[in-house]
Structure 1
Amino acid sequence: MNPHDRTLLDAAARGDEDAVRAALAAGAAVDARDDSLRTALLLAVLGDHTGAAGALLDAGADPDAADSRAQTPWLACGVTGGVRMMRLLLAAGPDLRKPNRFGGTALIPAAERGHTGYVRAVLAETAIEVDHVNRLGWTALLEAVILGDGGPRHAETVALLLAAGADPALADHEGVTAYEHAVRRGFEGIARLLRDAPAPGREAGR
Structure 2
Amino acid sequence: MTDLRDRLVRAATRTDRPSSDFDLNPSVVLPENRKLRAAGVLIGVIEGGGGARVLLTKRSSALKHHPGQIAFPGGKVDPVDADVVAAAIRETHEETGVPPETIEVIGTLAPHETVTGFQVTPVLALLTPPSAYRREAGEVDEVFEVPLAHLLDARNYSVQSRLWRGQSRSYFTVPWGPYYIWGATARILRGLADRMADDTT
TM-score by length of 1: 0.21
Higher helix proportion:
1
Report which of the two structures shows the higher radius of gyration computed on alpha carbons: 1
| Structure with greater strand share of residues | 2
TM-score after normalising by structure 2:
0.21
Higher relative contact order (CA 8 A, sep 6+): 2
